[in-house]
């Protein structure tokens, strides 16, 4: 297999190559000095063509952050780009002013500026990405791995696999084509997430125990009984894969020259997979291996076995693998409704590395919630009746390319008001022909129903709501502040699919 020295420099760290360092900084947990995270630019070769992209690295050039057990998230973010930026710690639950969203109270970081963060992180597999314009598409992203005390006692090798979609076109050009506007107008639209003032209209404040939509929209009667693709009969075609990307990356590489992670004979591997794509969803294919899923979105689940795993945008999954004595074992991410794929290869010393084409023989189906229906959280929400039940309806289309929550487009939205201590239930109804991975900042929620069928599901921060589907989630309002709730398809968010959850008493 050919090697590219320029890429090797980019991917020279253990984490970038897929293997997370085992407890590299146990002493750092007690150190007073914050870690330094650098937002910068880098060169990457994709399909034998150079591209200049963003990156998030530590002082040694390693991507992202790996925290030791009990270590605080004490980080100094340094902006070495020529652009404003702000970094969101996806799935973490810091105070809202440290969440990394460009509210007026927490504006983006200027070029050359620094900002300090200090909070107690929750352990698990997380990631970080820019929430400034569309920098995420240009790979202003990185893993955020927070180890637990149990991790330090485990006898396994850790491998991090981070997925991206990639285009040589600028994000402005991609959005312009989708929305039928000029790149300049697309750039201005990308800035619409920044420093949004409080709306002039008073927010809705339903009484305790109420059940109403944020815009008074009617319920979804007739949706019960739908499950998976069965509920799509007689309806129009689904919209999938908005953008024709030039490549799909696994740890910054394509299958033309994949990352090869060396593993021990008969090794036990903890595979931490992060879908850091902006607009692409995958089926994770373990090939001849059977994995045991032990966590999703950083939160433990009852272990279940799987060989193929749907992974929506921004979701993560932790998988335990026991490898055969020797050999090479491809771990592939197959784009939904496509033959395209990417991936890495786990290989023992001396194993022959197979060549794998980036285009497979068969087309995958759209991803679905078949896995979601099987997941059960190890630590569940305590049973109690909801204080608020809110309906959120997702709508939109490819033409015109506008995506809404309860008929509203960001930033012209009506915030949902919360009171500290409330149990909140959200009924997420998708009335569009495209799936939406919905992400709530600053909180973890439990999935409690899929298409009207109650479950004791996983605890997550991002859940897929399939086309014409219904998902019910619940969470406790225990982190006062201003919080974004949005579709994590970057282009859906940019064209309107975002709103705010705000705690009463928070000054704006």
Predicted pLDDT at 110: 97
Q: b/e map of 65-86 (b: 16 or more CB within 10 Å)? A: bbbbbbbbbbbebbbebebbbb
Question: Which residues are CB-neighbours of 186 under 8 A, at least 6 positions away?
Answer: 171, 172, 173, 175, 176, 179
Predicted pLDDT at 32: 62
Round to whole Å and give the CA distance between 414 and 408. 8
Q: Read off the pLDDT of residues 350-393 as tens digits, 9 standing for 90 and up.
A: 999 999 999 999 999 999 999 999 999 999 999 999 999 999 99
Round to whole Å and give the CA distance between 334 and 340. 6
Q: Which architecture, in CATH terms, is 247-374? A: Sandwich (2.60)
How far are the Cα atoms of 199, 265, 342, 387 from residue 195, in angstroms, in the given order?
12, 53, 37, 30
Predicted pLDDT at 284: 98
Tell which residue, 329, 244, 316, 233, has the closest CA to residue 282: 316
Q: Do residues 263 and 289 make contact, with C-beta atoms less than 8 angstroms apart? A: no
Predicted pLDDT at 203: 53
- The predicted model scores a pTM of 0.90
**5-154 to CATH, choices 2.60.40.420, 3.10.310.30, 1.10.1840.10, 3.60.20.30:** 2.60.40.420
Predicted pLDDT at 239: 86
- Where in the chain are all domains bearing CATH 2.60.40.420? 5-154, 196-237+376-503, 247-374
Predicted pLDDT at 198: 59
Predicted pLDDT at 31: 54
Predicted pLDDT at 461: 98
Angle at 215 between CA 133 and CA 425, to 5 degrees: 85
Predicted pLDDT at 268: 96
CATH superfamily of 196-237+376-503: Cupredoxins -  blue copper proteins (2.60.40.420)
Predicted pLDDT at 55: 98
Predicted pLDDT at 192: 66
Predicted pLDDT at 188: 85
Q: Read off the pLDDT of residues 306-351 as tens digits, 9 standing for 90 and up.
A: 999 999 999 999 999 999 999 999 999 999 999 999 999 999 999 9
With a cut of 50, list the residues of the chain below it in pLDDT: 1-17, 21-30, 200-201, 205-235
Q: Read off the pLDDT of residues 227-243 as tens digits, 9 standing for 90 and up.
A: 333 333 334 577 899 99
């Amino acid at each position: 297999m050919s090697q590219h020295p320029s890429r090797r420099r980019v991917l020279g760290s253990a984490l970038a190559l897929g293997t997370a360092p085992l407890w590299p900084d146990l002493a750092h947990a007690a150190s007073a000095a914050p870690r330094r995270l650098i937002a910068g630019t880098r060169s990457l070769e994709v399909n034998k063509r150079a591209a200049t992209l963003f990156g998030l690295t530590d002082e040694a050039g390693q991507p992202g952050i790996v925290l030791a057990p009990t270590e605080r998230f004490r980080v100094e973010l340094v902006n070495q780009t020529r652009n404003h930026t702000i970094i969101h710690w996806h799935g973490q639950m810091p105070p809202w002013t440290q969440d990394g969203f460009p509210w007026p109270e927490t504006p983006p970081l200027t070029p050359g500026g620094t900002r300090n963060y200090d909070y107690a992180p929750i352990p698990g597999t997380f990631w970080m990405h820019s929430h400034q314009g569309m920098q995420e598409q240009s790979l202003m992203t990185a893993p955020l791995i927070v180890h637990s005390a149990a991790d330090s006692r485990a006898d396994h090798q850790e491998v991090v696999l981070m997925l991206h979609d990639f285009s040589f076109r600028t994000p402005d050009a991609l959005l312009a084509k989708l929305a039928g506007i000029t790149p300049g107008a697309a750039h201005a639209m990308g800035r619409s997430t920044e420093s949004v003032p409080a709306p002039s209209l008073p927010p809705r404040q339903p009484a305790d125990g109420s059940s109403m939509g944020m815009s008074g929209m009617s319920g979804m009667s007739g949706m019960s009984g739908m499950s998976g693709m069965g509920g799509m009969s007689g309806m129009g075609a689904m919209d999938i894969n908005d953008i024709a990307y030039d490549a799909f990356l696994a740890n910054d590489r394509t299958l033309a020259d994949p990352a090869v992670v060396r593993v021990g004979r008969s090794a036990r591997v903890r595979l931490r997979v992060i879908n850091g794509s902006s607009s692409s969803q995958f089926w994770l294919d373990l090939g001849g291996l059977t994995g045991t899923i032990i966590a999703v979105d950083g939160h433990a689940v009852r272990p279940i076995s799987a060989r193929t795993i749907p992974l929506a945008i921004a979701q993560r999954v932790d998988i335990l693998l026991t490898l055969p004595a020797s050999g090479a074992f491809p771990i592939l991410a197959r784009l939904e409704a496509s033959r395209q794929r990417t991936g890495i290869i786990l290989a023992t010393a001396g194993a022959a590395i197979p060549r794998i084409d980036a285009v497979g023989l068969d087309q995958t189906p759209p991803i679905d919630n078949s896995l979601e229906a099987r997941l059960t959280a190890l630590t569940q929400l305590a049973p109690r009746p909801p204080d608020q039940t809110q309906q959120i309806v997702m709508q939109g289309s490819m033409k015109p390319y506008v995506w809404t929550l309860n008929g509203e487009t960001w930033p012209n939205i009506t915030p949902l008001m919360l009171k500290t201590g409330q149990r909140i239930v959200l009924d997420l109804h998708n009335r569009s022909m495209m799936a939406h991975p919905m992400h709530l900042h600053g909180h973890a929620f439990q999935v409690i129903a899929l298409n009207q069928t109650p479950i004791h599901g996983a605890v997550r921060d991002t859940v897929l709501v399939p086309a014409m589907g219904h998902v019910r989630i619940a969470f406790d309002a225990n982190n006062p502040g201003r919080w974004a709730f949005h579709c994590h398809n970057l282009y859906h968010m940019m064209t309107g699919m975002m709103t705010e959850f705000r705690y009463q008493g928070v000054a704006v």
